[in-house]
Amino acid sequence: MTASASFCNATSLAACDPLATSTTNRLDTLPSELVLVICAHLLNRTHDPPQQRPSPDASHDLAQLARVARNCYVPAVAVAVRHVKRFCFVKPDPDVPGAWIVTNERLMRANDLVGCIALDIHAPLVADKHGIPRPVMYLVLSGSLKCGIPPRMAVPCPVASIRHMKVAFSSWLFDHPLPPQLMALGLEGSQLDTARTKLLAAHLPTTLRRFWLDAVQIGPGDIGTLVRHIPPGVRHLSIANVNLGDDTAEELAQVLPPALTHLRLTSTGMTYRGLMAVIAALPAEQLESLDLGNNLHGPETMVALAEWLTRTRRLEHLALENTYVNDAPRILDPVLAALPATLRSLLLAGSLDSAFLLVNAADRFPRLEILDVSHIQGRSPFVGPLLPMLPPTLQVLRMANTDLRRCSVPDSLIDAAARGVRWPSLREVDVRYAHLTMDGVEAMVSALKGVVEPRGQGCRTCVMVVGNALSVRSRTFAAAQKRWAEDGWDVVP
């Protein structure tokens, strides 16, 4: 019972084993279904609630905990609700005492409600210790949309225990204040009107460290309100597929959190003015990850970014996807010439006219693990000469949507193997829509073996080949796929 011991050591004994007069439920008096669910979280510490019953052995271990520390029920539930991502409205079932009916079933994507956070918005709000009224929240231990929630299978959960919260499309949740101790908050596909935005902005907790918005529908004035209230302790900030615009981007540049280490601003509608403001405000000494892809870059923004790159000290991830400009095909050249040696991940899909400059730059980042040069726009991709220059740390290589017939990739891989190049940790090669024939795929896999093998037992490499000039349903491909699999290569159509 080592996983749960941390709740019941000497320093927390008072919390786990209070006086016998306490009214907190003893674990050994709770319904078996509840015991099993709590036990699964204590023993496994999984982020997601269990989808099936834990073993009886786990229940036995929890019974031992119940005898040692009689009142660990609340800490157990607190662990269970640390990570939440599914929510529903409920109301009491008038026909079955203690049972619940789900009232927003049309918004739910899964029938199973185990692990869902249920809000009884029909009941009176309850003020927390700060006087903020909140709906009562319940952790659902068993139930479904079709049958509802059985009696005793929705237990009150401490809202302050929720640390990580992902909200997909459940916009109604923002009619109420956020949990006060959140460390991570993500909104995906939600609709935020002015009232919801103001309430959300007013209750963004100071404990927040990760904050991301993806495809959130929000007005231009409201996104500015939200940006101005980003807590200063946020380290990971991501805004994607949201119309930020240049005005809000300039506001964001003025209020970037001082602790920021990871920034992603993609598909935000920023142009020259907004990008220049953001780049000028980037913290060069501490930023570890930067993604400014899918924005309207120009030569000036790339020059400014290149100058900033020369001052970075800890940058490990850089993404500049889909920044190609027809009138300035080599817009990325200043950035390629300034790439720092600290890089582990470089994503340039849809931004390169050629990989030529990367050939000379590759020896400057000896720890590179992920490289994406997909969708090269020029007629001469120049991928082949790049391959022998890549470091032994390489794990992911993406060359999709590029005409690899012009690159002699198998010959380059054979040349790399002859030079002693090895990628023992290579786990993914993406050559989708690369104009390869069956013979081309066969030659590539054979050449890849020379730079990957020998490798550790159980290590496998996935090669993605969908969209090429080969029939993945043919007997020839099926036989080759089986042969490759026996050698540790998962060639997937």
Q: What is the pLDDT of residues 340-358, one digit of tens each?
A: 999 999 999 999 999 998 9
Indicate the pLDDT class of residue 37, thresholds 50, 70 and 90. Answer: low
Quick one: pLDDT at residue 457?
67
Quick one: pLDDT at residue 408?
87
Contact (CB, 8 A) for 354 and 375 = no
Q: Where are the domains of the chain?
A: 2-80, 83-159, 359-367+383-493
Quick one: pLDDT at residue 346?
98
Mean pLDDT score, 41-61: 45
- Return the structure tokens found at 304: 């400014």
- Region of 492 on the Ramachandran plot (φ > 0 left; ψ -120 to 50 alpha; else beta): beta
Give the tens place of pLDDT for each residue, 66-99. Answer: 444 445 556 666 667 788 888 888 999 999 998 9
Helix (H) or strand (E) holding 212: strand 210-214
Give the tens place of pLDDT for each residue, 381-440. Answer: 899 999 999 999 999 999 999 999 888 899 999 999 999 999 999 999 999 999 999 999
Quick one: pLDDT at residue 456?
64
- State phi, psi for 241 to the nearest 5 degrees: 55, 35
Give the tens place of pLDDT for each residue, 293-310. Answer: 999 999 999 999 999 999
Inform me whether the pLDDT recorded for 16 exceeds 60. no
- Return the structure tokens found at 167: 């909200």
- State phi, psi for 97 to the nearest 5 degrees: -55, 130
Indicate the pLDDT class of residue 31, thresholds 50, 70 and 90. Answer: low
Indicate the pLDDT class of residue 43, thresholds 50, 70 and 90. Answer: very low
Quick one: pLDDT at residue 225?
96
Mean pLDDT score, 31-50: 51
As a whole number, the mean pLDDT across the chain is: 84
Give the tens place of pLDDT for each residue, 225-279. Answer: 999 999 999 999 999 999 999 999 999 999 999 999 999 999 999 999 999 999 9
pTM score, whole prediction: 0.84
Cα separation, 252 vs 10, whole angstroms? 46
Nearest to 101 by CA among 149, 156, 155: 149
Find the range with the poorest average confidence among 3-12, 130-139, 249-258, 282-291. 3-12
Quick one: pLDDT at residue 62?
42
CB atoms within 10 A of CB 368: 22
Indicate the pLDDT class of residue 22, thresholds 50, 70 and 90. Answer: very low
Quick one: pLDDT at residue 4?
36
